[in-house]
Amino acid sequence: MTVSSTMHWPSLARSPRAPLHAKVARSIFERAVRMVPVRVVTPDGRSCGGDTGPSAPVFEIVRPGSFFARLGRDTKVGFGEAYMAGDWRAGPGTDLADLLTPFAARLTTLVPQPLQRLRAVVDQRIPAHHENTLEGSRDNIEAHYDLSNDLFAAFLDPTMSYSSAWFPDDVDLVGAGDLEGAQLRKIDGILDFAGVREGTRVLEIGTGWGALAIRAAQRGAQVTTVTISQEQLDLATKRVAEAGVSHRVDLRLQDYREVVGDFDAIVSVEMIEAVGEEYWPTYFAAIDRLLAPGGKVSIQAITMAHERMLATRRSFGWIQKYIFPGGLIPSLQAIDETLAAHTSLRVSQRRELGPHYARTLRLWRDRFTQEWPAIHAQGFDETFRRMWEFYLAYCEAGFRTGYLGVSQLQLTRAPAWG
């Protein structure tokens, strides 16, 4: 597969012409970085920022004109696009996530309050074709997960788990390195919350590359697992067969909305983020409909604070444009409210893994960087490399600061009183 920056992202090939917007963006940026403990350097040797000392993370602006023009055209998308285009980078000796973390910690205060009130005017709206209808969901999933199985295999651990791991409690997360063991621990945590054991009828919504289905089958469960990614289904089928559990796993290319039957346990790992707010009631109602009496549900969900979700849910950001079209991260409050309004289910147990996701992402990025020559040989270009570097580091910074969280949630039916 070949990913050409000019073919897939033509707007990156040339700098936008927006002198007035660029001037405003420069003023806002220079004001904002005075509150951030980083050192910003420009090609002419100028330096600014909230920490100009030699040990501060270095934000190096390579092409100021293009950087501020992109930022001025659309702040939420332009910052990441400018990195993809090479308009800025982490300075020598500065790790990208270390640079982004202080920005993430101050994300809600970097733009002055009067300008924040203009969000509804300046934010791009989410494109209609990103809506998660049956057809739209397939398109959105294919845009990310069908890039290449070999791409994901290059930086994921042997379980091919593309979600937060759960490292042992007695391990220093800064130095934790056994990603495969931590991913298996995460999967076991999900299966334990759902009560999966010998003879359990399990439905998995979102197959991934089959690791959870294999683990559940090895417990003696009978697993039905659904995905709308053909690439994932093909490799998951092969991996299930190699694990010797094909007789216990029914793999389907099927949307969760089309599933029928009764299941003792329903599991879904970091799938809700791709559902879209409009379809959260449908997602949870489907789970409620498919869950047998006395059954349990276990989901793993990336979350954000409720007020931040409300403030950003209608706007179009860099992650949605380039990484996960149609996605929206829920809040724990939104999950609770959706369950109460549309199902008989309630959250009965919760496990928080936010710092574990920061470490997971760092290990993925280290591996991505290490394996870049092999990834590049698959046909992915330098713009793609910078896009994925930014994506992984941006998310790591979010989990480091608590701007993002991730929860394992056990759902059970609320008791029927009266």
Residues 6+ apart with CB under 8 A from 107: 403
3-class SS shares of the chain: helix, strand, coil, % to 5: 50, 15, 35
Beta bridge partners of 404: 304
**With contact defined as beta carbons under 8 Å apart, do 378 and 84 qualify?**
no
Active site residue 48: no
Burial 244-280 (b: 16+ CB within 10 A, else e): ebeebbebeebbbbebeeebbbbbbbbbbbbbbeebb
**With contact defined as beta carbons under 8 Å apart, do 315 and 123 qualify?**
yes
Of 334, 395, 397, 406, which is the active-site residue? 395
Residues 6+ apart with CB under 8 A from 409: 193, 298, 299, 300, 301, 335, 347, 349, 350
Task: Compute CA distances 45 → 41, 67, 328, 360, whole Å.
Answer: 6, 16, 40, 36
Greatest CA separation found in the chain? 75
**With contact defined as beta carbons under 8 Å apart, do 155 and 364 qualify?**
yes
Burial 101-115 (b: 16+ CB within 10 A, else e): bbbbbbeeebeeeee
Beta bridge partners of 252: 226
Return the amino acid letter for 58: V
Closest CA to 166 of 143, 133, 192, 145: 192
CB atoms within 10 A of CB 190: 26
Give catalytic residue positions: 395
